[in-house]
Chain A
Amino acid sequence: MKKKILYVVLAIIFIVALILTAVVGLKVDLNYAEGNTITFTVGKNITTEEISNIAKEVFGNDEFLVQEVEMFGDSALIKVRKDITEGQLSNLCTKLNEKYEIELETSDLDVNHIPNNKLRNVIQPYIIPMGLSTLLIVAFYAIRFKGTKKMLNLIKYLIIAEGLLYSLYAICRVPVNELTMPLAVTVYTLVVIIYSAVNELSLDTKQAKNEQNKPE
């Protein structure tokens, strides 16, 4: 009975997550999202922290991302989700000039519109290795435990674990970023490790019980 309730709860969570994804989509981190970038060279040593502070003053509450560009430590890139206005550009120039005592002009700032990185493309490289691994692992279970029960259980637990992770992203609006796929792979491996260990232990206990029940 408890199991049934659990499955119903899980099904509701997954359905809600799927509906949310279909209606509003997953929340995507700025690094993957569409936006505008401003690239500039200051000609003096800069840190991302310093540029972040300046960007905060210029763009206020708008979401932005600062990355160091090239290897000389004097260039940076600011990515903003929204459109960049002329006023913001000149403001940025003024702030940079004040901070680094340079004479940068708005024409020195390279502004670019950046297309979004589709999540499909982020997930794609993982499909073949994970799919192939799952096939091999379930085949191993079918041989090791002589039957389909254990292998179906593994698939079930994998779906539940990955589904919960996906639901967490969809329902709690956690932004999808560079950590999402590593987390998904980690959850996958963790399920395999735990399931494998539990099964080996239970097999051992079963064997011990059988030996005890054998007539002397």
Chain B
Amino acid sequence: MKAQNKLNVVLTVLVIILISIISFAGVYRLDKNQMVSVLPNYILGTDISGYRKITLEVINENDGEQSSSETVELGATENATQEENQIAENNIQEETTNEIDNETLKEENAEKYRKSADIFRARLKSLKVEDYTVSCDENSGKIEITIPENDQTDTIISDIVQTGEFSISDTNTGEILLTNKDVKSVNVGVTESYGYYLAGMNINFKTSASKKLKNISIDYNSNAVIETNTVSNDVVQNDTVENEVAETNTVNNGNEIDNEDSDESTEVAKTIDLKIDNVTMLSTGFSETIENGTLSLTIGSSTDEEEIKETVYGGYNVAAIIENDPLPVEYDVTGNIYVQSTIQVSDVNIIVYVIIGIAVILSVLMIIKFKMKGLLFSILSVGYVAILLLVIRCANVVLSIEGIFAIGLSYILNLVFNYILLLSINNKELSKKERIEKYDNTLKKYGLTLIPVVLLSIICCFINWDTIYSFGMVMFWGIVISLLYNLTITNLLIRNK
């Protein structure tokens, strides 16, 4: 029985060593004369791998310059009249006014640039970009944005630089009925029916604007019109917004021609334009009165899932623009480059070495204090880290600097359990039953110790920020594996002592 127990312990230790070798050294196979790792690679976060850096510059700074020259001109005209009376006095006044005007203008521009930076932040937040920075030069208005590099990066860049002036206006008179300021939120979603996907966008208006929307939907109701007008009544039924615009226009033109003589027909043809930056995205009428303050649009339909995904992503971009304020100044992309992280692989290695160093010191202390048991538990801790690293690779957890620190923290967490367990069972007079009882108690205490960290990790898992998410995910897996590891392998060793 004793020999069997010893064999069990030796086998467990060997399995741990084997797992450690697999995790730290890897498993390779020959593929096309090359050794290829069987295990998936670590997915590195933007803070380690790199990011896209976009430089935006103000296009139309003439606004500012113009107004500055206007004020100067105004000042000059005023001075010209005054010159007739008090030349010397006015010269002084002119200079002071210009200085004050320039300063005010500078401040106004700085305010505009700050607001623009905030709007970019809000748009990126609406787009749920995982990790971004927006910095603004308040003198020149230049804005630098860094965002993660992925499939959507280019789409995001092309869309977020739009000024984003959203309006719902009368097609005929051009009267603006609703703008970004009236929008509360925008939702984009997909419904699927028998393999046919339909992407929709709901523009939710503020309570104050809901009434206005209701009135518009009554005023621009096109139900009573002509039967052929149904295409324009259903807001979007085509694959793309552009098609819809074209089709709607055709239908409306037709109406106008058909009903040229009738006054009523002119009224009936009343439609609205949905515009972004004065570009008409859609012309439509309303088939029914909108009571709930939500304008529902169909933005695309397809049987191809990938195609609908792209449509939806485009919808998200439009939503991010509509639900935020328009930019107070126009921007243009002047730089768009992929930049490798400032944190080099060598820096990451330093962090890893420091964590390994701390782990070695703690293990040595354990060995000094608990001798053989300490050594055994040190090996157990190494095995724990090995399994955690394997899971991180297999579960595609993004590894940021926070994630690497979380691995270290998970190790410490597991070590805390080992230490408490060793303290409680470090008595030679303990019977097997007592030892198991002590183990059960320690595991229970450990579980309770973990609750606050579990809360922290779960919250971090729900945060849409690369580095925080990485921390949360690694901590979460660290806790789960630690519990399972101690319930199985540590349990086995305790029972077979």
Chain A contacts to B: CB under 8 angstroms:
31, 34, 39, 48, 65, 67-71, 75, 77, 110, 112-118, 121-122, 125-126, 128-129, 132-133, 136-137, 140-141, 144, 178-179, 181-183, 185-186, 189-190, 192-194, 196-197, 200-201, 204
- A71-B338, A77-B339 are contacts. A128–B463 as well, Cβ < 8 Å? yes
Q: Which of A69, A70, A185 has most chain B Cβ within 10 Å?
A: A185
Considering only CB atoms, which chain A residue lies closest to B475 in the complex?
A: A189
Q: Does B409 contact A (CB under 8 A)?
A: yes
Q: Which residues on the B side are within 8 Å of A179 (C-beta)?
A: 351, 401
CB of A201 to closest CB in B, whole Å: 7
Q: Which residues on the B side are within 8 Å of A201 (C-beta)?
A: 420, 445
**Within the assembled complex, what's the spacing in Å between the Cα atoms of A101 and B341?**
27
B166-174, B187-195, B231-239, B449-457 - the one binding chain A? B449-457
Question: How many residues of chain B are within 8 Å of chain A by beta carbon?
Answer: 55
Chain B contacts to A: CB under 8 angstroms:
47, 50, 55, 121, 133-138, 140, 142-144, 335, 337-344, 351, 400-402, 404-406, 408-409, 412-413, 416, 420, 441, 445, 448-453, 455-456, 459-460, 463, 465, 467-468, 471-472, 475
- A178-B47, A193-B413 are contacts. A114–B144 as well, Cβ < 8 Å? yes
**Within the assembled complex, what's the spacing in Å between the Cα atoms of A71 and B456?**
36
Q: Are B339 and A133 in contact (CB under 8 A)?
A: no
Considering only CB atoms, which chain A residue lies closest to B463 in the complex?
A: A129
- A116-B135, A125-B465 are contacts. A185–B471 as well, Cβ < 8 Å? yes
Q: Are B467 and A115 in contact (CB under 8 A)?
A: no
Considering only CB atoms, which chain B residue lies closest to A192 in the complex?
A: B452
| Interface residue from A122, A186, A192, A204 paired with B453 (Cβ < 8 Å) | A192
Q: List 17 A-B contacts (CB under 8 A).
A: A65-B342, A67-B340, A67-B341, A70-B337, A77-B339, A117-B135, A126-B468, A133-B456, A136-B459, A137-B456, A140-B451, A140-B452, A179-B351, A182-B402, A186-B409, A193-B409, A196-B450
Q: Are B460 and A129 in contact (CB under 8 A)?
A: yes
**Within the assembled complex, what's the spacing in Å between the Cα atoms of A75 and B338?**
10
Q: Are A197 and B420 in contact (CB under 8 A)?
A: yes
Q: Which residues on the A side are within 8 Å of B142 (C-beta)?
A: 113, 115
Total contacts A to B, CB within 8 angstroms?
136
Q: Are B452 and A69 in contact (CB under 8 A)?
A: no
Q: Which of A65, A68, A144 has most chain B Cβ within 10 Å?
A: A68
- A67-B342, A193-B413 are contacts. A115–B137 as well, Cβ < 8 Å? yes
**Within the assembled complex, what's the spacing in Å between the Cα atoms of A99 and B408?**
42
Q: Which 8 A-B pairs have the closest CB atoms?
A: A115-B137, A68-B340, A133-B456, A137-B452, A186-B405, A117-B135, A182-B401, A125-B465
Q: Which residues on the B side are within 8 Å of A75 (C-beta)?
A: 337
CB of A47 to closest CB in B, whole Å: 11
Considering only CB atoms, which chain A residue lies closest to B138 in the complex?
A: A115
CB of A140 to closest CB in B, whole Å: 6
Q: Are B338 and A70 in contact (CB under 8 A)?
A: yes
**Within the assembled complex, what's the spacing in Å between the Cα atoms of A23 and B143?**
27
Q: Are B455 and A140 in contact (CB under 8 A)?
A: yes
**Within the assembled complex, what's the spacing in Å between the Cα atoms of A190 and B465?**
21
Q: Are A115 and B413 in contact (CB under 8 A)?
A: no
Q: Are A196 and B144 in contact (CB under 8 A)?
A: no
Q: Are A125 and B471 in contact (CB under 8 A)?
A: no
Q: Which residues on the B side are within 8 Å of A110 (C-beta)?
A: 335
Q: Are B133 and A112 in contact (CB under 8 A)?
A: no
Q: Are B452 and A196 in contact (CB under 8 A)?
A: yes
CB of B106 to closest CB in A, whole Å: 16
CB of A178 to closest CB in B, whole Å: 6
Q: Which residues on the A side are within 8 Å of B456 (C-beta)?
A: 133, 137, 189, 192
Q: Are B335 and A112 in contact (CB under 8 A)?
A: yes
| Interface residue from B138, B338, B341, B412 paired with A193 (Cβ < 8 Å) | B412
- A71-B338, A117-B135, A189-B409 are contacts. A133–B455 as well, Cβ < 8 Å? yes
